[in-house]
Structure formats: structure tokens, C-alpha cells
Chain A
């Protein structure tokens, strides 16, 4: 059976716990617990907002659509830029190990300032024009992204292993860094492999 001093201990412990619980809201004003890992998401979805139905075999003068999106989990509001670039198989992609972007020029650019734990998504429509084929090569003269035309003059060689003229449309994620007052490559990119085919 418990003695009076045992009950006293129980009351003391309850009092201590109560004081701690009551002081938590006040303490949280001054004490900031470390947040989890800080990162940004970058994704590309098919026309149905799903990870399916991505365009692959593309033809001249036909419009294709995907969605690009960004999620901010950086612990504070972030200002992003998404650079849309286009390459053939021999041109450079971003280097995830060296954390360097592709050296190719950006064709189209999205900008979005996002609050913490918010995400953003936008359509990315594209079409090709001036597509020609000769001597195991294909040539794309112009790429239209979101109704803005860009002259690319991109030559693609026949890929005998995968049977196609492959090129890649990719999106790099850059983030604003206030210290040097510039956007830096955020080491994230997503890409779409496209096989240039002749119009039927």
C-alpha cells in the first residue's frame, strides 16, 4: 500500500509536469526547434496531371503539353526560376555531381516566388516546326514554347541502338540567393526524351 510520502511524490511529479506543459507555449516563442531537411521539389507531369502520357514520338507542327511544378520545403519563402532548355544527344546536361547547370542557353523561363510548404504548377506547351531529315540526321529549325517561338536549328543524329532521332527537352531549377544577389543552380532538373518523327 502507498504511504503519504508516495502520494506526495506523485503530486510533485504532476506539478512539475504541469508547470512544464504550461511553459511550453511561452518557451516556443524564444526557442526554435531545428526544422527537417530543406529541399525543393521539381516535377514534370503528363497532360492529365499524372506521371503518364508523356509525349515521346513528336511530329512537326503538333502541339504537346506537360506540366512542370515546384514545391518549396526550404523553411522560408523562395524565389525560383525554371529554365527550359533543348539539347541533342551530344550536348551537355546539368551535372548533378558537380552541381553545375547545362551550358546550353535557356529558351524559356518561368519565375515563381513560393511561400514555404507551397507548390506551384504551370503548363508547358511545345511544338516543333521546320523539321527535316537527311543522311541519317534530323534537323529542327524552330521550337515554340508556350506560344513563344525560338530558333534552335538543332541537328540530331540517328540513334541506331534505340531507333530514333532523340533529343531532350529539360527544365532546370534555379533559386534566388540574396547574399550574392543572384540566382544559383539548385541542382534539380527534369527532362523529357523526345523522338523526332516525320509528319504523316
Chain B
């Protein structure tokens, strides 16, 4: 191999090394900072929207008669994660903001799913509850009226007997 060719090859090799180095640096920078401010803002906005949708699901479950206390607690945990995400976004910690926003969305989606299940269960349990309530009320009413009629019957007997007893007797 001629000297000139060797020099060209060497320069090409050096150039390759520089390109690989620059590429690795760029990849490294991206892995450290991870996300841009736009990415983080979008993630926070998405989590915020998910939280609102979840709240509506929880309220729907509540209207169906479900006990949503536990769901509310979890919803507020998701809300705390969103607050942390917003703080991180404001501070310029975009990776952290995306991480918190993701956690918020995961928690929020889980709550929404459970709210749907609770709503279905509450809807299934509504009719038997109402039926038992109505039937129970009807039975109690019937028992009450029966007892009252019986009492009236006995009272009337007692009253008539007392009236007859108090009638002036004629001595023959």
C-alpha cells in the first residue's frame, strides 16, 4: 500500500472515530436529559386530562351508589404525582416531570378502571336492594295491619262486653 493511500485510510479512520465519539456523546446527552420541555409539558397535560376523566368516572360510580372513599384517596395520590410533575417541569427537570406524569396517568387509569367496576357492581346491586326494601316495607306493613285488625277485633269484643256488663240489670 502506498503512503498516500495509507494516509487517506488513516484520516478516514480518524474521521470515523470522531463521528462515533460525537454520536456517542449525543446519545449520552439524550439519555441524561431524556426529554425536551415540550415532551414534559405534553406528558403533564396528558396526566392532567386523565385525572379529570378519572374524577368524572369516580363521580359516576358515586352516583350509582358505590362507596368511593378508597378511590378518592387513590385519586388524590395521582393528583400528588401530578403536582410533583408540574414542580419538576417548572424546575426544568423534564425527565422527572415525565416520570411523575407517567405515574399519575398509571394511577389515574387504574382508579378509572376500578370506578367502572364499582359502578357496574352498584348498578347490579341496585335492583335487589330496592326490591328487598319494597318487599320488606310491604311485609312490615301487612304485619302491622294484621296486628292492628286483631287488636281492633279484641278491643271491640272487650268494649261490647264491658258495655253489656254495665247495662242496668232488672231484678225480676
Interface residues of A (CB under 8 A from B): 4, 7-8, 11, 14-15, 18-19, 22-26, 29, 76-77, 79, 109-115, 148, 176, 178, 181
Across the two chains, which residue of chain B brings its CB closest to A107?
B90
A-B contact pairs, 6 of them (CB 8 A): A11-B155, A22-B141, A23-B141, A109-B86, A113-B79, A148-B87
Interface flag for B121 (CB, 8 Å): no
- With A25-B137, A113-B72 known as contacts, the answer to whether A77 contacts B58 (CB < 8 A) is yes
CA distance A176 to B57 in the complex (A): 13
CB <8 Å contact, B141 and A19: yes
CB <8 Å contact, A11 and B152: yes
Interface flag for B12 (CB, 8 Å): no
B137-151: CB near A (< 8 Å → 1, else 0) gives: 110110011001001
- B134 contacts which chain A residues (CB < 8 A)? 26, 29
CA distance A141 to B10 in the complex (A): 58
- With A22-B140, A25-B136, A112-B76 known as contacts, the answer to whether A14 contacts B155 (CB < 8 A) is no
Chain B contact-residue range equals 35 or more
- B100 contacts which chain A residues (CB < 8 A)? none
Q: Which listed residue, A19, A29, A109, A178, touches B130 by the CB 8 Å rule?
A: A29
CB <8 Å contact, A77 and B68: yes
Interface flag for B50 (CB, 8 Å): no
* Chain B contacts with A in 49-77, Cβ cutoff 8 A: 51-52, 55-56, 58-59, 62-63, 68-69, 72, 75-76
Interface flag for B16 (CB, 8 Å): no
CB <8 Å contact, B152 and A113: no
Across the two chains, which residue of chain A brings its CB closest to B142?
A22
CB <8 Å contact, A26 and B68: no
Inter-chain pairs besides A18-B141, A76-B63, 14 sampled, C-beta below 8 Å: A7-B159, A14-B148, A15-B144, A15-B148, A22-B137, A22-B141, A23-B141, A25-B137, A29-B129, A29-B133, A111-B79, A115-B62, A148-B87, A178-B56
CB <8 Å contact, A77 and B72: yes
* Chain B contacts with A in 14-62, Cβ cutoff 8 A: 51-52, 55-56, 58-59, 62
Chain B binding surface SS class? helix
Most buried by B among A7, A11, A79: A79
- With A18-B144, A29-B134, A148-B90 known as contacts, the answer to whether A113 contacts B156 (CB < 8 A) is no
- A115 contacts which chain B residues (CB < 8 A)? 62, 68-69, 72
In the complex, what's the smallest C-beta–C-beta distance from A3 to chain B, in angstroms? 9
In the complex, what's the smallest C-beta–C-beta distance from A29 to chain B, in angstroms? 5
Across the two chains, which residue of chain B brings its CB closest to A120?
B76
CA distance A18 to B143 in the complex (A): 10
- A111 contacts which chain B residues (CB < 8 A)? 51, 76, 79, 82-83
CB <8 Å contact, A112 and B79: yes
B71-97: CB near A (< 8 Å → 1, else 0) gives: 010011001001100110011000000
Most buried by B among A15, A113, A115: A113
- With A77-B72, A115-B69 known as contacts, the answer to whether A4 contacts B136 (CB < 8 A) is no
- B138 contacts which chain A residues (CB < 8 A)? 22, 26
Enumerate the 6 nearest inter-chain pairs by beta-carbon distance, A residue then B residue, closest first. Answer: A26-B137, A22-B141, A111-B79, A18-B144, A26-B134, A79-B55
